[in-house]
Structure 1
Amino acid sequence: MPTPSSKPLAVDQHGNRLVSFTLGTEDVLSGGAPVPMALTALWHRGEVVVVYDRFRGHWELPGGLLEPGESPRQAAVRELFEESGQVPSDPLRFVGYAGFLLSPAQRAEYGALFTGRTLRRRGFEADHEIGAMRWWDLTAPLPGRVSDIDVYLARLTQPAGSH
């Protein structure tokens, strides 16, 4: 499990810390730690889809909590579509597990990270949670803050040749 003494890989403006990233097998996480969330870095022509979360007040990768009986992979596909309207062209590829310490209590939690690509950009409709969606090359300015944690995770999945 991530521990408060772990040096963070990235920190967001709310004090949430990414303290580990473990490549591995999709169905196995050392220690049997809970994985209540999944994130997706979906790429199209060197740009990753990011969404603006109205509640957190920043841009981030699409993702969220697993619903009862749902696998991390199923949650990744569902959240990607619900938050961005995007659909991967091929099955998502599992990348690994991100270890977080979430503020304010620095609660330890893991998230499964998936990546994929799409051949076609789809439309987007804002809702009460997600105010906007953009395709982003990880360098161009966005209107508002970007989660440093999500930038770190997106870079882990960046296709070769799109740097």
Structure 2
Amino acid sequence: MNGALAIDTAGNALMAYLPASAGSDAPGDAPMPAALVVVRHGMSVLLVFDRHRRQWELPGGRIEPGESPLQAGVRELCEETGLHLPALALVGYARFRLVDPGREEYAAVYTGRVTARHRFVPNDEISAMRWWDATGAPPADAQIIDITLARLSLPAAPGGAARPETPG
């Protein structure tokens, strides 16, 4: 597997997961253009079905100019699912080796919790959402890199190494 933690069907690879710790800075050896969010309800993780990629994945996406990774995570989660969770916790950084175009980059990985499941309304980007029991097998059409990131982030979620962030 070339030292990768996970490789998807397109050949994109999750090369490393670096847990966040208090006082540590974001890695600076590659750009960080994205933020992903692992939302939990008990041991279930929220997955969204992307209309274009036709797969289950974590909510998240590109960091807009002038936006912090946290702001991007909050915005993308709300745009994709309707959930507004402004107090996400930074749990780590995912390093990717992507193939089209070839590059290496990071995504900031955040977690949040909900105490109740909400009603989802499909939109232009996301056709469905589901709660995946992270102790079981993932959906057959799930993005393996996102499933791996969800599993890696769970131990760091509540009471673990998560570093709470405030919008800014």
TM range (shorter): 0.7 to 0.9
Q: Secondary structure at the match of 2:120?
A: coil
Quote the offset at 1:6 in angstroms. Answer: 5.5
Say if 2:30 is the partner of 1:37: no
Alignment check: 8 A CA contact 2:20 2:93 kept:
yes
**Which ranges in structure 2 are unaligned for 5 or more consecutive residues?**
157-168
Matched residue, 1:62: 59
Quote the offset at 1:91 in angstroms. Answer: 1.8
Matched residue, 1:23: 19
Q: TM-score normalized by structure 2?
A: 0.82
**Which ranges in structure 1 are unaligned for 5 or more consecutive residues?**
none
Distance of aligned partners of 1:66 and 1:30 in 2 relative to their CA distance in 1, 3 Å threshold: closer
Quote the offset at 1:102 in angstroms. Answer: 1.2
Matched residue, 2:150: 154
Sequence identity percentage: 47
Aligned length: 154
Q: Secondary structure at the match of 1:30?
A: coil
Q: Secondary structure at the match of 2:28?
A: helix
Quote the offset at 1:87 in angstroms. Answer: 3.2
Q: TM-score normalized by structure 1?
A: 0.84
Q: Map 1:40-51; keep pairs closer than 5 Å.
A: 40-51=37-48
**In angstroms, what is the RMSD of aligned CA positions?**
2.3
Say if 2:96 is the partner of 1:100: yes
Distance of aligned partners of 1:6 and 1:28 in 2 relative to their CA distance in 1, 3 Å threshold: farther
Quote the offset at 1:59 in angstroms. Answer: 0.4
